[in-house]
Amino acid sequence: LHLSITVHLRWDFLVFSCVCVDEEAVFMSLCVQPIPLLRTQRCRSITLSQEQVSCLLANAFFCTFPQRNSHQTEFSNYPDINFSRLFEGSSQTKQEKLKTLLCYFRRVTQQRPTGLITYTRQCLQRLPSWSSSEKQFGKLHISCEGSIEDQGYGMLQVDFANRFVGGGVTGSGLVQEEIRFLINPELIVARLFTEALNDNECLIVTGAEQFSRYSGYSDSFRWEGDHDDQTPRDEWQRRCTEIVAIDALHYSQFLEQFRPENMSRELNKAFCGFVRPGVQAENLSAVATGNWGCGAFGGDKRLKGATRSQTPEIKSYHVNITKPQMKVKHYELLLQYYECVCKKTTRSRPQKTLYSFLSELL
């Protein structure tokens, strides 16, 4: 690009390309064997050094991963990893994305990171019977300000994921998941080896570092500069930041989400993301979450709040949302709402909301 007269006046990739070429040059010494794949329906973990991750991301920047730009290959059920779509067009949002990623590459080349990151695919074969569950909800704290990454320090932090983790981070997407992958770019490398998530699966990433600050959301997103991540490290030298990717269902019609099978699916997905087999409930961390699946996916904020709070194993939740919502107590009440309100309405949305229905019963 630096040879183009028109682009040369605005961009000069020569220095950056030299930096990334240096990253690629050390790739062979750092990655001496093929990266394992986190395949569907298999519990498995991969631990990489931050330096290995930086080399993999440099290769993604130069689009060197073969057979990853076509849906006719063995990787058709994996996300895109090459950055080719980021270089298409000249939208303001893509410029801000590139600023955020270039900040990361500058930081890791100026000072080589020394920590580790673990990527875990968790798959549960045994799921609760929600209709017979008598366990009570955990504590719920609601905040109308801040973000999950700021307010959720020390908690399990939820990524409102696409089943192809990272969603549109290498394309035009720029909402909660994509923003988190941009400010913590080490999350992006999960797209290289994580097959699409099924209903009983989630991805857990431990140790990803935040490199950038930002403002705005979607079209208003702006890179605001470096972020100095002071999160302490564990005995493995991983940042004590745990992020879980759980994907909500997409609803083209509002009422679909109140069908019992869809409510059970969302409960199971949240349960999969929050539970840790072999760990007692009292030893689990609180969960920092928000309006999961309530934007482009069409989810109802009240229902999503109720389904996540229904997960009994978690001792407390910290919810970052725009308006305070009340919490409900029993899965059976959700089924009653479906039978008494949703199935009888002639509208696209029921006139009586979930919480107004529950407030009459409780």
Query: Which pLDDT value is given to residue 238?
Result: 98
Answer yes or no: is 41 a known binding residue: no
Q: How far apart are CA 344 and CA 356, in angstroms?
A: 16
Q: Which pLDDT does position 2 carry in this prediction?
A: 40
Separation CA 307–CA 265 (nearest Å): 10
Whether residue 317 is annotated as binding a ligand: the answer is no
Catalytic positions, please? 159, 177-178
Distance CA 259, CA 335 (A): 8
Distance CA 257, CA 251 (A): 7
283 is in an annotated binding site: no
Contact (Cβ atoms closer than 8 angstroms) between residue 213 and residue 149: no
- pLDDT tens digits, the chain, 362 residues: what are they? 343 444 445 555 555 555 555 555 565 677 878 899 999 999 999 999 999 999 999 999 999 998 876 777 789 999 999 999 999 888 999 999 999 999 999 999 999 999 999 999 999 999 988 888 776 666 777 787 889 999 899 999 999 999 999 999 999 999 999 999 999 999 999 999 999 999 999 999 999 999 999 999 999 999 999 999 999 999 999 999 999 999 999 998 999 999 999 999 999 999 999 999 988 878 888 899 988 998 889 998 888 877 766 665 555 556 654 333 433 445 777 888 888 888 888 888 888 888 788 777 65
- Please report the pLDDT score of residue 322 as a whole number: 38
Which of 303, 284, 283 lies closest to 293, judged by CA? Answer: 303
Q: What would the two tokens of residue 256 be?
A: 């679909």
Concatenated DSSP letters of 235-246: TTS-BS-EEEEE
> How many other C-beta atoms can be found within 10 angstroms of the C-beta atom of residue 361?
12
329: left (phi over 0), alpha (psi -120 to 50) or beta: alpha
pLDDT for position 138: 65
d(Cα 290, Cα 322) in Å, to the nearest integer? 9
- Given this model, what pLDDT does residue 1 score? 35
What was the pLDDT predicted at 318? 60
Q: What is the pLDDT of residue 133?
A: 76
The answer to whether 194 and 264 are in contact (CB under 8 A) is no
**Cα distance between residue 24 and residue 22, in whole Å:** 5
User: Cα angle at 22 between 21 and 26, to 5 degrees?
Assistant: 115
Compute the residue count for the chain.
362
pLDDT of residue 245: 98
**CA quadruple 210, 213, 215, 216: dihedral sign:** negative
Which residue bears the tokens 């990454």? 149
Q: What is the DSSP letter of 142?
A: E
**pLDDT single digits (tens) 131-149:** 887 766 667 777 878 899 9
pLDDT at 143: 81
